Amino acid sequence: MQGMERKAYKYRSYPTDDQARGLAQTFGYVRYVYNGRPALRTEAWFGHHERIDDAETDRLLVRDPETSWLAEVSCVPLQQDLQHRNAAFIHFFAGRAQCPRFHRKHDRQSATYHIGGFPWKGSNLTLAQMNAPLDIRWTRPVGAEPTSVTVRKHQAGCSFVSFSTEEDVARLPEVNVNVGLDLGLLDTVVRSTGEKVGNEHFLRRDEKQLARAQRSPVRKQTRSRNRTKARCKVARIADRRRDFTHKRSTRIIRENQVVCAEGWNVKGVLAHPTLAKNIADVGWGALPRQLEYTARWYGRTFVPIHRFYPVRKRCHTFRQTVDHLPLAVRYWPCPICGAALDRDVNAAQNSKTRDSRNGPPGWRRRPVEGMIDPLGNGWRDPDEARSPDERSPGIPPA
């Protein structure tokens, strides 16, 4: 069984000196177009009390005689960058994103080419206004005909090429294995089977070297080659964390048919005064997001658990909830069965047995003794609301 999905393939590229100069020029023009749109709108409003729309802004930027030098590069990435800017403002005014920021010269640079901006011959990629194909390290074949190609230059000076495709992804064979996950700080991922994946501490391991590398460019002369090399040493940690998260999420999806994990309010917990740095280092936001789209690709099921469901304070066997469970308590005894419960493993097992019984959005929950609802609506256990025949097997009444 197959399904049409959008996928991206990323490869390392090694442009020649002439190609690198052409790409640097394209990056600069794309950055000018992206940053020039809000400047034109601001000047028109505060200077002439005029409001110009997207089409007029695009005409002033691309087709104006004073900016005829933009024709030195392909118009495909320029037009695409205008669409990116328009979409950014649409999301901002709709309240879905923050106000778009200006792109800086020393940040990551990118240019997107759609169909017509690159001839594709299976294994050779020649971008518009290039005489020779790019030297790309092909680590795996591209699954289908690419619909767009994005060339990126990392802050460290590395170049990458990403192919966006729409292809039929083969579903994985079904397995009769379900798993619950708990995300933590001592262990990044804890499974309901008891398996624990330790915290790699990507930031803590290189924190001193990172601080030294961030101070080094200040001592170098502006626009010098040594300043550029010192600045390139800074952006290394995120790559290792991203690689670790991708490999972990792919393994979990391949080994399990249904994956259940607690839905964290990552933006809220990052406001913690002492744990914010450690929370950001383990990638609580990235792992569930990757699990969700990887499960969709391969025909698996990913179930997010409601963030206020007490997976840690409730015994997974007898459903008894304790009133208070400090963060320092890693093991606690169940008041009914007396079993010594591992805090993280118990949370993963509760996530597994909870699975799809979250209730629809806006479901009113009546209070349960010993629990406090942060939203003030009160809780109602779904197993209490069901008849004995409808309760999940193996779960006694609370």
Percent of the chain with pLDDT over 70: 81
- The answer to whether 74 touches 113, Cβ cutoff 8 Å, is yes
pLDDT of residue 356: 40
In the predicted model, what is the mean pLDDT of residues 173-180? 91
Sorting pLDDT into bands at 50, 70 and 90, what band is 385? Answer: very low
Catalytic residue among 58, 81, 344, 381: 344
- Reported as a single tens digit per residue, the pLDDT across 360-373 is 333 333 333 333 33
| Per-residue CA distances from 390 to 349, 355, 384 (Å) | 20, 15, 10
Rounded distance, CA 257 to CA 301, Å? 6
Catalytic residue among 58, 81, 262, 381: 262
262 catalytically annotated = yes
pTM above 0.85, yes or no: no
pLDDT of residue 35: 84
| Per-residue CA distances from 88 to 45, 82, 193, 329 (Å) | 20, 10, 43, 44
Rounded distance, CA 393 to CA 304, Å? 21
Rounded distance, CA 396 to CA 398, Å? 6
- Reported as a single tens digit per residue, the pLDDT across 7-49 is 899 999 999 999 999 999 999 999 988 887 667 766 776 777 7
Question: Is the model more confident about 311 or about 223?
Answer: 311
Span of 14-28, 98-112, 384-398 with lowest mean pLDDT: 384-398
pLDDT of residue 233: 63
Q: What is the identity of the amino acid at 132?
A: A
pLDDT of residue 97: 84
Question: Is the model more confident about 219 or about 20?
Answer: 20
Looking at the DSSP bridge assignments, the partners of residue 137 are: 12
- Reported as a single tens digit per residue, the pLDDT across 257-266 is 999 998 888 8
Q: Angle at which helices 54-62 and 17-48 pack, to 10 degrees? A: 130
Span of 131-140, 241-250, 333-342 with lowest mean pLDDT: 333-342
pLDDT of residue 217: 67
Other beta carbons within 10 Å of 328: 6
pLDDT of residue 84: 86
Catalytic residue among 58, 182, 281, 381: 182
- The answer to whether 256 touches 177, Cβ cutoff 8 Å, is yes
User: Residue 56, Cα to own-chain centre: how many angstroms?
Assistant: 34
Sorting pLDDT into bands at 50, 70 and 90, what band is 66? Answer: confident
376 conformational bin, left if phi > 0, alpha if psi -120 to 50, beta if neither = left
Q: State the average pLDDT for the chain.
A: 79
Q: What is the identity of the amino acid at 191?
A: R
pLDDT of residue 307: 83
355 catalytically annotated = no
| Per-residue CA distances from 358 to 91, 113, 300, 343 (Å) | 29, 43, 19, 21
Question: Is the model more confident about 116 or about 149?
Answer: 149
- The answer to whether 159 touches 14, Cβ cutoff 8 Å, is yes
pLDDT of residue 387: 41
Sorting pLDDT into bands at 50, 70 and 90, what band is 63? Answer: low
pLDDT of residue 377: 40
pLDDT of residue 221: 74
| Domain edges within the chain | 2-170, 178-299, 309-398
Find the radius of gyration of the CA atoms of the chain.
Answer: 26
